[in-house]
Structures are given as C-alpha cells and as structure tokens.
Amino acid sequence: MTDVSVDAAPPRAQSAAPEAGPRDYWALLKPRVMSLVVFTALIGLLAAPGAINPVVGFAAILCIAVGAGAAGALNMWFDADIDAVMRRTAGRPIPSGRVTRDEALGFGLGLSVLSVMMLGVFANWLAAGLLAFTIFFYAVIYSMWLKRATPQNIVIGGAAGAFPPLIGWAAVTGGVALEPVLMFALIFMWTPPHFWALALFAEIDYEKAGIPMLPNVAGAAETRRQIWIYAALLAPLAILPAFTQVGGPIYLVAALWLNARFALGALAIRRRTEAAAAADAFKAEKSFFGFSILYLFGHFAALGVEALLRLTVGDYAAAMALL
C-alpha cells in the first residue's frame, strides 16, 4: 500500500480568485467601523433610563454590530470599482479577488435581514426599524447615491454612523428622547471635520477614484474653512448632554477639554496655507485627524462613566453637593 500525496487540481484553479477564507468575510464586515458602532451603541444602551437584561442587551448589541457589518459588506459590494483604484482600499477582499461581488452581496443582504429580524425579536421593533433604516441609509443613500454625486457626501452620509446610540437607547426604552438625539448629533457633526481632515492629506487617492471629496472639488482652503465651521458648531452640541439626565460633572469637564482642543486644532488647520501644510507633510492635519478619534471616544467614554456611576452609586453629583 502506497501513500501518495498529490496536489489535486482545485475546482477553481482556472479562476484568478482564490477561495475566500473566514478572515476575508470578517474583513467584509469592516471590523474597525464595527468597533465604533459597538462602542457607541453600548453607551446608548447603558445611558438609557430603565433596565435591560444583560443577556438581552448583549444580544441587541450583537445585532447592531452585525447590521453595521452587513452595511459595510454592501458598501464594499457596490464600491468595488473605486476600492480597486485607491491605495487605502485596494487590499480589500473584493478588489484583491478573494471574494466575488456576488458573494459579498449575498453575505451583506443575508446578514442585514437576519440582524434586523433578530433585534426585533430580542429587543423591540422600533430598534429593529432604526437598524434597518441605518443599513438602508449607508448602503443606498450614502454608498449608491451621495458618495459619487456630491462633495457633501460625508455630511449627509454621516447620519448612518450616528444612529447606533439611538438604536441602543431604543432597545432599552422602546422610544427615542432628546439625549440619544444629542448623541446622534454629536457623531453627525463630528463626521465631516474628521473625514475632511483625512481627505486633506489623502486627496490624491480620492481624486484618482473620482469621488467628489470637498478638497478636490472646492479646494483645500474651503475645506479648511469648513472644518473650522463644523468644529465651532459641534462644540455647543457636544457640551449640551452634560446638562441632561445622561450627563454630569465628569462629562462636562471631559467635553469642555475635548472641545477646546478640537476647536483649537481646527483653527490651526484653518490658518494654514497649503504650502505650509506640504512643507511639514500635513503634520497638523494628521494630528487633528488622530485627535478627532480620541475626541469621539472621549465623549462616549465619559457618558459611559456617568452611566456606570449612576448605576452603582446613584446620583453621585447630588451626593457630592451634600458633602
């Protein structure tokens, strides 16, 4: 008896696309975006008044994460052509040939339906409806329409990333209130300066793909002005939650510091010329972009701390005032 090892011809050997592995499907879900969605949805859920069984809460967050991932897969399905052109996205599963467009479409649609239905069963149908709308907004309104049509793509499309805390809140309360709307507004107004800062130093890539980002349509000077305007408008919106039931002294201090730094960073960008930016390889823009991530994380982390304190020690601000 002889044991012979043979390199059998694979069924798709003629195809240029190798068979996808689990990691490729994981990459289709845009795990980085998903992590932000999970975090903000969790804060929305924790900050909401009322109780939710931790197991049900976990299941709800999982559904929101899967829904966001499904929207990411649908985005990659539609944007495969422009992803292939840009250096930042050329290694994604579809442009690199590891996953076919049809596979990504089926994967995205299947997970979309599943996540919405399961969230409805686990939590309530308002939360499920909001998740369905979020997926629709990101995949259809943003990816298929706005992204290629207008330099305001990020402004309106940013709403898709702003919904998760609203969904987390709705999962607990079955309704919507001012507080989650403020959380929505915070992410919505933060998105344009965050992405425009990136677009300032990644401009060549967007131009090559034919995406009308603000710097290559209206120019860098106008983009710098818009970043400053959005940062100025964002500050009061970001500080306002401190005076609602989800905020408190910790959030107020964090928001004041984060917004002061954010506004100063935006002002520095506003005052710079292209020649100055090119001379130091966009140092201020890159620094602002990096800080913008910390900015959003800081606000939601502060809201999380407030929620956990209320959960464990009750109204800690009132207790401190009595001391």
Choice from 14, 32, 55, 275 touching other proteins (CB under 8 A): 55
Using the rule CB under 8 A, is 12 a contact of other proteins?
yes
Choice from 28, 37, 59, 94 touching other proteins (CB under 8 A): 59
DSSP state of 20: P
Tokens of 275: 């020649």
Choice from 14, 16, 22, 102 touching other proteins (CB under 8 A): 22
Tokens of 220: 């860098």
CA distance 196 to 154: 8
Mapped onto helix, strand or coil, the DSSP state of residue 48 is coil
Angle ∠(8,99,9) on CA atoms, nearest 5: 10
Q: Under rule CB under 8 A, which residues in 190-219 are in contact with other proteins?
A: none
Q: How far is the CB of 30 from other proteins (least distance, A)?
A: 17
Write the CA distances from 63 to 121, 143, 174, 233, 285, integer angstroms: 11, 21, 16, 32, 35
- Nearer to other proteins (CB atom), residue 103 or residue 306: 103
Q: How many chain residues interact with other proteins (CB under 8 A)?
A: 25
CA distance 117 to 89: 31
Choice from 31, 35, 49, 53 touching other proteins (CB under 8 A): 53
What is the dihedral sign for C-alpha 199, 273, 152, 183?
A: positive
Using the rule CB under 8 A, is 62 a contact of other proteins?
yes
Choice from 31, 35, 49, 56 touching other proteins (CB under 8 A): 56
- Nearer to other proteins (CB atom), residue 66 or residue 302: 66
Using the rule CB under 8 A, is 31 a contact of other proteins?
no
DSSP state of 99: S
The contact pattern for other proteins, residues 32-51, with x = CB under 8 A and - = no contact, is: --------------------
Contact between 172 and 52 (Cβ < 8 Å): yes
Using the rule CB under 8 A, is 11 a contact of other proteins?
yes
What burial class does residue 32 get, using C-beta atoms within 10 Å of its C-beta: 0-12 exposed, 13-18 middle, 19+ buried? exposed
Write the CA distances from 220 to 66, 84, 174, 205, integer angstroms: 36, 25, 44, 15
- Nearer to other proteins (CB atom), residue 37 or residue 61: 61
Using the rule CB under 8 A, is 120 a contact of other proteins?
no
Q: How far is the CB of 121 from other proteins (least distance, A)?
A: 8
| Binding piece for other proteins, criterion CB under 8 A, among 11-19, 31-39, 222-230, 313-321 | 11-19
- Nearer to other proteins (CB atom), residue 155 or residue 172: 172
Mapped onto helix, strand or coil, the DSSP state of residue 219 is coil
Choice from 14, 16, 17, 21 touching other proteins (CB under 8 A): 21
Q: Which residues form the interface with other proteins (CB under 8 A)?
A: 1-12, 18-22, 25, 53-56, 59, 62, 122
